[in-house]
Each structure stands twice: as C-alpha cells, then as structure tokens.
Structure 1
Amino acid sequence: MNGRLLFAALLLAALAGPALATDCPALLQGELPKLRAKESIDLCERFAGKPLLIVNTASHCGFAPQFKGLEALYKRYRAQGLEVLGVPSNDFKQEAADSSETAKICYVNYGVTFTMTEPQKVTGDEAIPLFKDLAEQSSAPRWNFYKYVVDRQGKVVASFSSLTKPDSDSLRAALEQAIASKP
C-alpha cells in the first residue's frame, strides 16, 4: 500500500507542475536580474496572483523624486498584497551608466524597498517581453516613470503617464481596483 501512495503522490506532483505553469499569466513569464544582486527575479514565482504596479524608471530623470511616492504607495498597500516593480531603463537617455549608481539613487537617496531590476530595454523591438506585453495590453512607455497597474490575473487595468504622481487619486483608485480583483 505504501508503494501505491508514493506512486499517487508522485503522479499528483508531476501533474501539478504543468498546471501551475499554465496558471502564470503571459505577462509574468520569464526572469529579470535583480538590481545589484546576484539573483534573478522569477516574475511568475514572485508576482503571480498579486496586484502589481510596474514602473519604468531612470535615476537622472526629473521625475526621479517619484521614487518616494512609489515607496509610500508600496508601504500603504503591501499588506493588501500589492507589489511594486521598478524597471530602470536608459531608453530615454537618463539612466546611470553604472548600476551601482542606480542602486545608490534608489536605495540610499530615496529609500526604495520594493523590487528593482537591472536596467532593461522597455521600448521598441528590443523591449523585454514584460514591456512588450504591457505595450500590447495598453501602450508603450512614452517617457520614464510610466506606470502600469496590473490585476491579479496579469491584465493591465490602467496605465499612467510620467506626469501622474504616485499620490494621485486616479492611480490609487486603479490600485484599489487591482487589489480587489480575484486571483
């Protein structure tokens, strides 16, 4: 009987693996290198089933002070499941050439505790898959600090230009809608 139970457990585990992979939305397929760390972020493992705010950032952009507001949003809503993902990019020629400088600006100058990646391409044909999917669901970033609110199913519920401040009522309303969505 023990052999049958072991076989059944192994069979269930084998069948559950592919089922879990299909539960991950296309938007979250893949990995990105974490800023100034040796590990990568498995987007599906880290963010699947969670409401998410994704922002393309740039350390030397005039909108960089928005890091403080993004951190405040993260602290305000993280107990409700919200995750924030910052993706630095030099697509608009305002990101530091050295990721250690990017990290210092984010972590030291602005006190960022939400997840940040190494700089990535976020526009055009060379955009990473995450941003290609965001662009297909909404629109490509037109500048730094473009914000995407994603629900628990991996669907963009709203996007906001760089001019939209993190404390805006419309951004908070979209985040609350994403938080309220069912996994």
Structure 2
Amino acid sequence: MNIYDFKFKTIDGEDAALDKFKGKVLLIVNTASKCGFTPQYKDLQKLYEKYNAKGFEILGFPSNQFADQEPSNNDEVKNFCEINFGVTFPLSEKVEVRGNDAHPIFKYLTQQVAFGGFDMNNPSGKMLHSFLQEKFPDFLLGDSVKWNFTKFLIDKSGNVVERFESPIEPMEIEGNIKKLL
C-alpha cells in the first residue's frame, strides 16, 4: 500500500484519487479557518504558485477536530479560503484527521512518519505543547495529528518523507520541497 492507493472527496463533493499526483511532490495539510495557524494558508498558496508548474501539489483537508476551529460547511470553507487567502490548491471535504474515524489518508500518513515532538525552541511550538498538555493531554500521545496545519511531505514516488508540526511555517519547508523537485 502507498499514498496513491487512497481516494477522497473534494470540497465540491467530487471523487478524487491520489494516483493522479504520481510523479509529483505532494504536501498534505490538515486545515482550519479559525485557528491561530490559519494565516499559513497565505504561504501555502505562495508555495503552490511558485512550484506547481514544476510538479508540486498541495492538498488541504479541513477538519473541525481541534477546538471547533472549522465549524463552517464545505461551501463556507471554500469561500473563506478563496476570499481571504486566494487559495487555488485542491481542498477536500471536511474530514476527521485523528482517532478511530480519521480519514484513511491520515491514518496512513501518521503510520509512515512518527510524531517527533514540538520544537521547544520555537515559541509557537512551546506554546502549543503547553496548551495541549493542559487542555488536551491525550492529543500528545502516539503519532496522531496533534493540531491544525500538520504538514506531510511526499516525494515523487509516493513516499512520505517528512512531517512538519503546526508551528512550522510553510516557508520554512521551502528548501525541503525544492530538494524533492
């Protein structure tokens, strides 16, 4: 089994298969519209515009699993992303990204790359770790997605090569993307 074996529904309700991304570098991100990390949409879109023609794709998977930070319906999410951040990369319908009901793509991704902890030298990483420890301590257990805007980088062969936690800004991983292109 690899990443290309999975399917999802787009935010418009259409069936989509990851095998259409074979031969491309792929970044899969779980997203939310009312999160402190929501401004990352802007830099995700910048990366998409800069590298899409060179074989780079981004897939956003909205989820409401983290403190109800994506309460909107699919149409509202799509409009929010387009109006506020000019998002043109594909979005899925809202999904679960952790727990028993997690979308199979996220079950697979978290099995491929373990949670390596938060960078405690990064103020946002330290803050998120403290917040989760206080409010959602079970979120810190295991390799599941910990919060919105966890990013998984996949190479042209479909291998999940790196995982970047929420506080890591999209522009910080530009070099990792360029190496795979």
**Same fold, judged at TM 0.5 (above):** yes
Residue aligning to 2:50: 76
Matched-pair contact (CA < 8 Å) for 2:7–2:17? yes
Partners of 1:104 and 1:96 in 2: CA distance = 14
Describe the superposition over 1:121-170 as per-residue Cα deviations: whole angstroms up to 9, x where unpaired: 111221111111110111332100011110011112111111111111xx
Gapped runs of 5+ residues in structure 2? 115-143
Q: Aligned-residue CA RMSD in angstroms?
A: 1.3
In structure 2, which of residues 68, 78, 83 is the aligned counterpart of residue 108 of structure 1?
Answer: 83
Partners of 1:28 and 1:123 in 2: CA distance = 20
Residue aligning to 2:180: 178
Matched-pair contact (CA < 8 Å) for 2:13–2:93? no
Query: Secondary structure in 2 aligned to 1:116?
Result: coil
Residue aligning to 1:161: 165
Partners of 2:180 and 2:105 in 1: CA distance = 18
Partners of 1:30 and 1:164 in 2: CA distance = 26
Partners of 2:71 and 2:5 in 1: CA distance = 27
Letter paired with 2:162: A
Query: Secondary structure in 1 aligned to 2:59?
Result: strand
Describe the superposition over 1:23-82 as per-residue Cα deviations: whole angstroms up to 9, x where unpaired: xx62122321111x24221221x2122110110001111111110100000011112100
User: Is 1:30 matched with 2:2?
Assistant: no
Query: Secondary structure in 2 aligned to 1:53?
Result: strand
Matched-pair contact (CA < 8 Å) for 2:30–2:97? yes
Gapped runs of 5+ residues in structure 1? 1-24
Moved over 4 A (4+): none
Point out which structure has higher relative CO (alpha carbons under 8 A, 6+ apart). Answer: 2
Residue aligning to 1:99: 74
Letter paired with 1:95: E
Query: Secondary structure in 2 aligned to 1:109?
Result: helix
Describe the superposition over 1:75-96 as per-residue Cα deviations: whole angstroms up to 9, x where unpaired: 1111210000000011112112
User: Is 1:48 matched with 2:18?
Assistant: no
Residue aligning to 2:103: 128
